[in-house]
């Protein structure tokens, strides 16, 4: 029997912190009440917030230079599920995980679905992978996949995506996320117009295979591994593709997939307007697709994104149903701690955005009172909502201090015994 953090350990840990939390929560409640905000409403919304954990995020990631495996890291998707369930049991915010194929391939998906059920986790969007060649693969993706010049390669990539849909169907997923590395490293390498046509042609074959209640999430990325021109490089290309591919196609925003300083919240606003926002791959970055922990570098940007989301939610924007997922690589931290902290940072930004005094903001905007409008946003952003997050967790049988409880459990050291290191383990993004 593999180790799971006992509920009693979390309860004991909580007991030591409960009085302090009660005081902080009451004080914050009184403060918010003065601004006409009912803390219970906010806590309820935070408790209902869910974000999916990427299965590829629970292994130790690497850089282009090296990977330094951590002790007790998952050896296969069953171990990954266990870690995802642990993250959920501490945060109560991550009841689902997003699998990646063929990384998470198994021979019996019924068994995998059963295991997930027993652990109390569900499957979110399935991710396809045509950015690597797999052992024994017939044709190479070195020069592209869905947009390759050779039809046979395109067909192989289409088939892989169809296989992902079939697997996802068995696992109870409702969406396929497609990110392709296709593009050019040199001017002249490909015809920029033709490759977009090929993308649409290939993707329509994939879309045709989606079950009725499924969506496909098109993920854009500015550059890397293609360094001159990536086929789906930005939200404009993604939106053009989604519109051509029909109502099941939506645009996924990975925060790390934009040039530095790009106004991502404005992109989010445009995609909501178009009724095509699929959802997010949350992470943070300083320079490129750094895959750092959500909110680690620029929590204000994260807040501004959630500000757009709450705005859309409150005005009942049509076709607004974003999927929240994390997409990170943890090379120098314990991946479980990073994912726990990241889920909490997303919740924090959501809670802060819920505190924005929208009538006051609108009035200030109408009156061109720039300072007041800005201060209205800042007032919400600078409110320490930690007691709300902790109280939501406590009520859901999660941990008041998830990382503290995790460390107290000795989970990682116990897993290191249960999961002897496997030579050449491919966990994480290298």
Site residues (CB under 5 A) for Mn ion? 254, 281, 289, 327
Q: Which of residues 218-247 bind ligand RM4 (CB under 6 A)?
A: 219, 221
Query: Whole-number minimum distance, CB 56 to ligand RM4, in Å?
Result: 6
Distance CA 171, CA 306 (A): 29
Point out the residue whose Cβ comes nearest to ligand RM4.
179
**CB closer to ligand RM4, 25 vs 179:** 179
Q: With contact defined as beta carbons under 8 Å apart, do 198 and 147 qualify?
A: yes
Query: Whole-number minimum distance, CB 227 to Mn ion, in Å?
Result: 15
Sheet holding 249-254, edge to edge: 126-127, 175-178, 215-219, 249-254, 277-282, 323-326
- 82: contact with ligand RM4 by CB under 6 A: no
**CB closer to ligand RM4, 285 vs 383:** 285
Terminal Cα distance for the chain, rounded: 31
**CB closer to ligand RM4, 61 vs 95:** 61
- 293: contact with ligand RM4 by CB under 6 A: no
Query: Whole-number minimum distance, CB 391 to ligand RM4, in Å?
Result: 33
- 284: contact with ligand RM4 by CB under 6 A: no
Question: Per-residue x/- marks for ligand RM4, 86-125, CB under 6 A?
Answer: --------------x-------------------------
102 preceded by a cis bond (ω within 30 of 0):
yes
- 130: contact with ligand RM4 by CB under 6 A: no
Q: How many other CB atoms are found less than 10 A from the CB of residue 142?
A: 9
Checking phi first, is residue 24 left (phi over 0); if not, alpha (psi -120 to 50) or beta?
alpha
Query: Whole-number minimum distance, CB 87 to ligand RM4, in Å?
Result: 18
Q: 3-state DSSP call for residue 218?
A: strand
Residues with Cβ within 8 Å of 69's Cβ and at least 6 positions away in sequence, in order, are: 60, 421, 425, 427
- Applying CB under 6 A, among 13, 281, 301, 419 the residue interacting with ligand RM4 is 281
**CB closer to Mn ion, 79 vs 327:** 327
**CB closer to ligand RM4, 29 vs 61:** 61
Distance CA 186, CA 198 (A): 19
Distance CA 396, CA 60 (A): 29
Query: Whole-number minimum distance, CB 239 to Mn ion, in Å?
Result: 17
- Applying CB under 6 A, among 73, 124, 289, 293 the residue interacting with ligand RM4 is 289
- Extract the tokens encoding 189: 């390498």
Given Mn ion, ligand RM4, none, residue 127, with its beta carbon under 5 to 8 Å by kind, binds: ligand RM4
- 327: contact with ligand RM4 by CB under 6 A: yes
**CB closer to ligand RM4, 43 vs 342:** 342
**CB closer to ligand RM4, 349 vs 429:** 429
- Extract the tokens encoding 314: 């409150």
**CB closer to ligand RM4, 255 vs 405:** 255
**CB closer to ligand RM4, 124 vs 311:** 124
Residue 195 has φ and ψ, to the nearest 5°, of -65, -30
Q: Among residues 155, 166, 59, which one has the least CA distance to residue 109? A: 166
- 324: contact with ligand RM4 by CB under 6 A: no
Given ligand RM4, Mn ion, none, residue 258, with its beta carbon under 5 to 8 Å by kind, binds: none
Given Mn ion, ligand RM4, none, residue 429, with its beta carbon under 5 to 8 Å by kind, binds: ligand RM4
Q: Which of residues 382-411 bind ligand RM4 (CB under 6 A)?
A: none
- Applying CB under 6 A, among 43, 96, 127, 130 the residue interacting with ligand RM4 is 127
Q: Spell 30-65 as b/e; 16+ CB within 10 A means b.
A: eebeeeebebeebbebbbebbbbbbbbbbbbbbeee
Query: Whole-number minimum distance, CB 137 to ligand RM4, in Å?
Result: 17
Distance CA 366, CA 214 (A): 41
Q: With contact defined as beta carbons under 8 Å apart, do 343 and 91 qualify?
A: yes
- Please write down the HEC assignment for all residues of 329-361: CECCCCHHHHHHHHHHHHHHHHHHHHCCCHHHH
Q: With contact defined as beta carbons under 8 Å apart, do 309 and 268 qualify?
A: yes
**CB closer to Mn ion, 199 vs 217:** 217
Interface residue list for ligand RM4 (CB under 6 A): 56, 100, 127, 179, 219, 221, 254, 281, 289, 327, 429
């Amino acid at each position: 029997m593999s180790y799971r953090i006992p509920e009693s350990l979390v309860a004991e840990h909580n007991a030591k912190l409960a009085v302090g939390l009660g005081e902080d929560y009451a004080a914050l409640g009184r403060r918010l009440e003065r601004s006409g905000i009912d803390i219970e409403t906010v806590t309820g919304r935070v408790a209902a917030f869910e974000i999916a954990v990427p299965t590829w995020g629970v292994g130790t990631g690497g850089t282009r230079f090296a990977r330094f495996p951590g002790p007790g890291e998952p050896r296969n998707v069953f171990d990954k599920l266990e870690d995802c369930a642990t993250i959920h049991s501490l945060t109560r915010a991550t009841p689902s995980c997003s699998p990646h194929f063929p990384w998470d391939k198994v021979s019996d998906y019924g068994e995998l679905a059963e295991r997930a059920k027993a652990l109390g986790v569900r499957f979110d969007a399935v991710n396809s992978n045509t950015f690597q060649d797999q052992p024994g693969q017939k044709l190479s993706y070195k020069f592209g996949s869905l947009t390759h010049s050779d039809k046979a390669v395109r067909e192989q990539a289409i088939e892989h995506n169809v296989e992902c849909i079939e697997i996802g169907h068995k696992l109870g997923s409702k969406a396929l996320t497609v990110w392709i590395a296709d593009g050019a490293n040199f001017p002249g390498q490909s015809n920029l117009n033709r490759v977009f046509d090929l993308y649409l042609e290939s993707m329509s074959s994939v879309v045709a295979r989606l079950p009725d209640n499924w969506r496909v999430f098109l993920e854009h990325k500015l550059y890397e591994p293609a360094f001159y021109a990536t086929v789906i490089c930005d939200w404009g290309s993604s939106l053009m593709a989604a519109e051509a591919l029909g109502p099941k196609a939506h645009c996924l925003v990975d925060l790390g997939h934009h040039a530095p300083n790009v106004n991502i919240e404005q992109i989010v606003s445009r995609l909501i307007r178009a009724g095509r926002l699929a959802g997010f791959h949350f992470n943070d970055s300083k320079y490129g697709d750094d895959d750092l922990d959500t909110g680690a570098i620029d929590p204000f940007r994260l807040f501004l994104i959630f500000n757009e989301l709450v705005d859309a939610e409150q005005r009942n924007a049509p076709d607004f149903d974003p999927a929240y997922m994390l997409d990170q690589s943890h090379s120098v931290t314990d991946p479980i701690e990073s994912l726990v902290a990241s889920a909490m940072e997303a919740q924090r930004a959501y809670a802060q955005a819920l505190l924005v005094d929208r009538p006051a903001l609108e009035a200030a905007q109408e009156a061109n009172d720039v300072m007041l409008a800005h201060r209205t946003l800042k007032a919400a952003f600078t409110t320490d909502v930690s007691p709300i997050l902790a109280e939501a967790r406590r009520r859901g049988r999660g941990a008041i201090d998830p990382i503290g409880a995790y460390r107290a459990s000795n989970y990682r050291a116990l897993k290191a015994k249960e999961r002897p290191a496997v030579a050449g383990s491919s966990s994480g993004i290298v």
